[in-house]
A and B are shown apart, each in its own frame.
Chain A
Amino acid sequence: MKQFGGPAAFIDRNDINTDEIIPAKYLTEITKKALAPHLLEDLHLEGQQFDPHSAVMQAAQVLITRSNFGCGSSREHAVWALEVNDINVVIGESFARIFRQNMFNCGILAVELSKADLDRLFALKGQVTVAVDLAAEKLTATSGDATVECAFSLNAFDKKLIGAGGWLAFADANY
């Protein structure tokens, strides 16, 4: 099974919508690769700097954010834009339904944690790396000597999708 985790990037805002993840003007692209340079390019964070092309974002394989991530348009381009940038896990307090389903449909992870656990992750300083133990439904974030462990639970069906490598493969085998 696919391995999940890697270096993390933090985005401290609620309600990040799919227009912000990938603006509509790129919806005319018909290859996923073409979306790569445009991930989060118009994201605006109140009172904070955000550079989608920063070294941390370039290296990131895990995004850690707040609540209702991926709201708005159903565009799966938002998930693909993450995928082609090698991001395989998004961790947040909650996700919009369609975005969450699109993640699992593509065989990658949307992990929901409590606000308290997220606060512990956001409190980590320096470069953070996240390791995901899918079987144990546990993730470990490390930064230097500091370690934060969080338990999560996946919907049973979403787990099957991850195992199958996505919904198309699962549906083709079962229906």
Chain B
Amino acid sequence: MGQTITEKIFAAHLRDTPTSGNMVLDIDVIMCHEITTPIAIMDLMEKGMDRVCDPSRIKAVIDHVTPPKDSKTAAQAKIMRDWARRHNIKDFFDIGRNGVCHALFPEKGFIRPGNTVIMGDSHTCTHGAFGAFAAGVGTTDLEVGILKGVCAFRAPKSLKIEAVGALPKGVVAKDIILNIIKQLTVNGGTDMVIEFCGPVIDAMNMSSRMTLCNMAVEAGATSGVCQPDLTTAQYLWPFIKDEYASPEAASESFACWRSDADAHYERVLTLDVSTLAPQVTFGFKPDNVKDVSELEGSKVDQVYIGSCTNGRIEDIREAAAIIKGKTIAASVRGILVPATPAIYSQALEEGLIKIFMDSGFCVLNPTCGACLGMSSGVLADGEVCASTTNRNFNGRMGKGGMVHLMSPASAAAAAVTGEITDPRRFLN
């Protein structure tokens, strides 16, 4: 019997099998942000265990509320900053260099095929796009990761999504993953890794693969994963060029991190994307999904383009193509948040920021901000937001507010009209 990519990664990182079916893994990359880490740091300090297993395996960023909005968030940032200094954590990103963790760390080349990655953040699954096992964990798991470099998981089970067909114009990765969550439901992936396969995924760039893996947790999955290939190698090339003769050679060596043809899956789901339309969520669960056309005409008060799901340069280009030369509806507040400084600066260079500003959008510095309702665009009671983020829970972006999740193109279309709108209306 062959193995899945996740089984291969688990086998290669196995430290201990404390009981049958439970595996303690060595963790290659331990990522930290200022919401879930300070309390871990404080707890370790209190217990006299303020140590780190290996500063080079730790990557830390202040991203959720930055710049700080009040003295409490300033204190969280300070705890992180002091800790990073104290332990000589070189890969620490503070104001001016910081961005949304799941966009920033890939951009720095920190995640490689075959890696194990944890973070005190549920969307850590994003990094599975690189052919890694990347899982969100709680603060205690994070503490043990920081201290010992290990984490415990149940033996992995996998669920395979085979995406086939030609993707219609105006339909993108976000629409695919929303449709998959609709089919799997919010706990259809619990205790499983969702493997995204098939020609549609093979043809996708890393940005789209990250969008898919990012939302695996919304189906309850431990993580999402894509097979590492030439696209992965080309993305990572600036960071690995001393290790391989060419991207092709790197891709070949990644083959050991690809699932075998006869690997076992708990479930296999084939998705024909050729009939897929732009998707949107309604209500307060990410598996409440409809075609955008079914909700057309619903009013929105705010449009938010950003986050670890869709705040990358490709997303900004996709939205700008619709916004260009138009003014957003007078009833709408448009907020664009490029996910990292590099993305921001690239968008400036390409003239995209100007397109947004001319249309009436407010452009913010890289941060999570309103995605989790902490700052920078929190909704008022009764307000509705068309958003490119990943969670539509009741009150997620502000108490009493409602969030419709959608692609950057759909969000841009909603900004122009002030209501949920099929973005294909604006594409010729």
Enumerate chain A interface residues (CB-CB to B < 8 A). 15, 17, 19-20, 23-25, 27-30, 42, 44, 67-68, 71-77, 79, 94, 96-99, 101-102, 105-106, 155-157, 160, 166-168, 171-172, 174-175
Contacts and interface: CB of A to CB of B under 8 A. Distances in A.
A106 B40 CA distance: 13
Contact of B186 (A15, A23, A29): A15
Interface in B387-417: 391, 393-396, 399
B141 A30 contact: no
B373 A25 contact: yes
A166 B140 contact: yes
Contacts of A98: 122, 136-138
Residue among A30, A97, A101, A157 with max Cβ neighbours from chain B (10 Å): A97
14 contacts: A19-B393, A23-B399, A28-B65, A28-B72, A28-B374, A68-B220, A97-B190, A101-B141, A102-B139, A102-B140, A105-B140, A157-B154, A171-B144, A174-B18
Given A74-B121, A74-B138, 18 more contacts: A17-B393, A23-B395, A23-B399, A28-B374, A30-B42, A74-B122, A76-B140, A77-B39, A96-B187, A98-B137, A101-B152, A102-B140, A105-B141, A160-B19, A171-B148, A171-B150, A174-B16, A175-B16
Given A28-B76, A160-B19, A166-B140, A20 B285 contact: no
A-B interface, 3 closest residue pairs, ranked by CB to CB distance from nearest:
A76-B138, A157-B22, A156-B19
B285 to A, nearest CB: 6
A68 B187 contact: yes
Nearest to A158: B22
B1 to A, nearest CB: 24
Contacts of A27: 35-36, 374
A124 to B, nearest CB: 26
B38 interface: yes
Contacts of A101: 137-138, 141, 152
Contact of A94 (B18, B72, B190): B190
Contacts of B36: 27, 74-76
B384 interface: no
Interface string B122-157: 101000000000001111110110011010101000
Given A105-B140, A167-B141, A67 B18 contact: no
Contacts of B39: 30, 76-77
A157 B49 CA distance: 24
A44 B394 contact: yes
Interface in B55-112: 65, 70, 72-73, 75-76, 79
Interface string B255-296: 000000000000000000000000000000100000000000
Contact of A96 (B20, B42, B137, B220): B220
Contacts of A19: 391, 393-396
Nearest to A18: B122
A42 B394 contact: yes
B419 to A, nearest CB: 25
A99 B286 CA distance: 18
Contacts of B354: none
A75 B18 CA distance: 25
B62 to A, nearest CB: 13
A24 B42 CA distance: 20
Contact of A24 (B49, B75, B121, B373): B373
A72 B154 contact: no
A106 B139 CA distance: 10
Contacts of A75: 35-36, 138
A105 B18 contact: no
A71 B285 CA distance: 10
B420 interface: no
B120 interface: yes
Contacts of A20: 393-394
Nearest to B118: A74
A155 B23 CA distance: 12
Interface in B140-192: 140-141, 143-144, 147-148, 150, 152, 154, 186-187, 190-191
